[in-house]
Amino acid sequence: MGTYFLPSWIHLCFTSDGAIFLDVRNDAYFGLDAPESKMLRRLGDDSACVESESDGLARSLIKKGLLTTSKIQSRPLETPTIDPPHSVLLDDCEDIPPVSLKHVLTFLSTCLIVWARLHLGSFEHAILRLQTGSVRIERLPPSENLEAARRLMRVFTHLRTFLYTHNKHCLYDSLVLSAFLQRFGVASNCIFGVRTLPFSAHCWVQIDGSLAADFGIEQVAVFSPILVV
Question: Would you list the DSSP string of 45-62?
Answer: S-GGGS-HHHHHHHHHHH
Peptide bond into 141 cis (omega under 30): no
6/21 Cα distance (integer angstroms): 10
d(CA 91, CA 198): 31
What gap in Å lies between CA 30 and CA 80, rounded to an integer? 17
- What does the pLDDT read at residue 47? 47
Domain ranges of the chain: 6-75, 87-228
Using the predicted structure, report yes or no on whether residue 45 has a pLDDT greater than 80: no
Beta bridge partners, 177, equal: none
Strand, coil or helix: 218: helix
The three-class DSSP label of residue 39 is helix
Out of 136-145, 174-183, 209-218, the most confident range is 174-183
Using the predicted structure, report yes or no on whether residue 16 has a pLDDT greater than 70.
Answer: yes
| 179 CB burial (10 A radius; 0-12, 13-18, 19+) | buried
> Looking at this protein, which amino acid is placed at residue 184?
F
**What rounded mean pLDDT belongs to the chain?**
88
DSSP label of 71: -
Nearest to 205 by CA among 218, 220, 224: 220
Would you state the pLDDT for residue 172?
95
Task: Report DSSP letters for 146-206, one per residue.
Answer: HHHHHHHHHHHHHHHTTT---TT-HHHHHHHHHHHHHTTT---EEEEEEETTTTEEEEEEE
Q: Note the pLDDT tens digit of each residue in 201-223.
A: 999 999 988 888 877 888 898 89
Could you report the per-residue pLDDT of 94-118, keeping only the tens digit for each?
677 889 999 999 999 999 999 999 9
pLDDT score of 93: 59
* Each residue's pLDDT tens digit, 23-43: 999 999 999 998 898 888 877
Q: What is the mean pLDDT of residues 140-159?
A: 87
Examine residue 142 and say whether the peptide bond preceding it is cis (omega within 30 degrees of 0).
no
- Residue 166's pLDDT is 80
Q: What is the mean pLDDT of the segment spanning 125-134?
A: 92
What pLDDT is attached to residue 44? 65
- For the stretch 49-96, pLDDT in tens is 555 667 788 889 999 999 998 888 888 888 898 988 888 888 765 677
Higher pLDDT, 94 or 144: 144
Q: Which pLDDT band, with edges at 50, 70 and 90, does 46 fall under?
A: low
Identify the pLDDT of residue 94.
65
pLDDT value at 168 more than 70: yes
Tell me the mean pLDDT in the region 156-165: 91
Task: Provide the pLDDT for residue 48.
Answer: 47
